Structure 1
Amino acid sequence: MEQVLAGSVLSALSTGLGAIPILFFSRSITHHGRDLLLAFTAGIMMAASMMGLIPEALHAGGFFSVAIGLFFGVLTLTTLEKTIPHIDLQHSKEGIQFDEKAMLIIAAITLHNIPEGLSVGVSYASNVSDTGNLIALAIGFQNAPEGFLVALFLIKQNIGKWKSFIIATLTGAIEIVGSLFGFYLTAIFERLIPYGLAFAAGAMLFIIYKELIPESHGDGNERTATYAFILGLLTMIFLMETF
């Protein structure tokens, strides 16, 4: 219990950690730097999904459990994307442009974090090696650039730097609730563990292919973003083999 709480808190607080830079520099960020960060994050999450979650789901429940869990993970993220406003990063040489209202963006990011919290909780409930720690780390890497972008957006809406930082940090707090819910649910109903692991993998794969990779390739940085993706992949593999 202490481990899942610590892991969920650390992964959630990574949102605030990613927002820290906005306290120290201007309101602009190059697309190149942002695209490299997004691609690196995609590599981290890909390794966690394909080498951590899916193999353990297969071992615990077999192919059909994986297929069903993946389907519902993708379906959940698809539903959230269609029904909840999401940050639309327009690629422009002049900087990042946003069209949505601040409160809608905050609500969208907060709700999008729920499946990520579930992923962490389910991974800890599996009790297989250090999967929980690895998934918490992967989600944390994904949360950091997200926190930065949310804080950057809020600053562009003439909200103070400290308020933007605090709000961005709080958007990740919902992951703690989601993580504890996922942990207790799968701990009580052990048969749900392979479905939960596959659900987490499906949600992460949706984020990778639908959000992170297209965003990292949208401003002519495909080659360097590809290198960053591979570096992220190798980084996660190294962590999985080392710890």
Structure 2
Amino acid sequence: MENIALIILCAFLSGSTLFIGAGLAYFFEKWFKKGALKVQIIHTSIAFGGGILIAAVALVLIPKGMEALPVIPMAALFLGGAVFFFFLDRYLEKKGGAFSQVMAMLLDYIPEAMALGAVFSADRNMGFLLALYIGIQNLPESFNAFLEMRTGGYSSKKRLILFLILSFLGIAASVSGYYLLSDHPKGTAALMLFSSGGIIYLIFQDIAPMSKINKNWLPALGASLGFLFGMIGLKIMG
């Protein structure tokens, strides 16, 4: 099978878990109405997703970015991402939006999908493993983002449609990465570093505070397990 066909297939399969995670959250809302167990599951899931995001930044996005760029552009891109999402987060807050999880999810998903396309021509096995890693980490991130958007007044139907649309973004990102970034490692690195700055900002501004429950230590353990998941994924990818 041609590279581009394999890229589209892998991107579709890994992206489909965005919709699957949203679907799981949809049924979770219906099955768990109230109670301490529901609160614990939600906060632990948020922390687990935050742990995965930290792992993606610390183990994949930043190391790859630092390999390709010198210190000044590296620092400028990372800081630029943080500052950009600082202003975007403030703007959305004024508008009454609830999108921190969605933004963090896309900041993680889109650069990795583009990297999937970029590396596929050089190393198919790495491409397959990266697609698997992306697909699995999309589940808790889309689960949390779907639940978060409820506070913004969005109906379940609208949220499901949104995540169905988002699940196809990975195909466009991967194909773009294949054609635009395969021979431009510095462009891939710049995208990863800019995204990393935004992810770190969103984790400490929005995601980590949402995961805490007074006198409950399970969410913090969930964050550690999320980071461990990222470590295992990186080890598998070699």
> Structure 1 residue aligned with 2:51, among 43, 57, 60?
43
Aligned to 2:116: 124
Aligned to 1:55: 63
> Structure 1: how far apart are the matches of 2:13 and 2:215?
31
8 Å CA contact retained: 1:66, 1:195? yes
CA-based RMSD of the aligned residues comes to 3.6
Q: 1:16 to 1:122 in 2, by over 3 A?
A: closer
Identity of aligned residues (%): 14
Aligned to 1:91: none
> Structure 1: how far apart are the matches of 2:224 and 2:160?
32
Q: 1:125 to 1:8 in 2, by over 3 A?
A: closer
| 1:186-238, Cα deviation, whole Å (9 max, x unpaired) | 34754322211212222322232222211111x31562222111111112111
> Structure 2: how far apart are the matches of 1:181 and 1:75?
28
Q: 1:180 to 1:125 in 2, by over 3 A?
A: closer
> Structure 2 residue aligned with 1:215, among 210, 227, 237?
210
Q: 1:125 to 1:75 in 2, by over 3 A?
A: farther
Q: 1:57 to 1:122 in 2, by over 3 A?
A: same
Deviates more, 1:231-240 or 1:15-24: 15-24
> Structure 1 residue aligned with 2:192, among 197, 205, 223?
197
> Structure 1 residue aligned with 2:75, among 42, 60, 67?
67
> Structure 1: how far apart are the matches of 2:92 and 2:220?
29
Question: Pairwise mapping of residues 57-206 of structure 1 onto structure 2 (< 5 A)?
Answer: 57-85=65-93, 100=96, 115-127=107-119, 129=126, 132-133=130-131, 134-135=133-134, 137-150=136-149, 152=150, 159=155, 163=157, 166-170=160-164, 172-173=166-167, 175-176=169-170, 179-180=173-174, 183=177, 184-187=179-182, 189-206=184-201
| 1:161-180, Cα deviation, whole Å (9 max, x unpaired) | 6x356335236347437725
Q: 1:79 to 1:132 in 2, by over 3 A?
A: farther
Amino acid at match of 1:17: I
Q: Please say if 1:25 is aligned against 2:22.
A: no
TM-score of the pair, normalised by structure 2: 0.72
> Structure 1: how far apart are the matches of 2:90 and 2:206?
13
Which structure has more helix as a fraction of its residues? 2
Amino acid at match of 2:233: L
Q: Please say if 1:237 is aligned against 2:231.
A: yes
Shift of 1:119: 1.8
Aligned partner of residue 31 in structure 2, secondary structure: coil
Q: 1:234 to 1:109 in 2, by over 3 A?
A: closer
Q: 1:83 to 1:149 in 2, by over 3 A?
A: closer
> Structure 2: how far apart are the matches of 1:190 and 1:242?
22
Shift of 1:31: 2.0
> Structure 1: how far apart are the matches of 2:236 and 2:73?
29
Which blocks of at least 5 consecutive residues in structure 2 are unaligned?
none
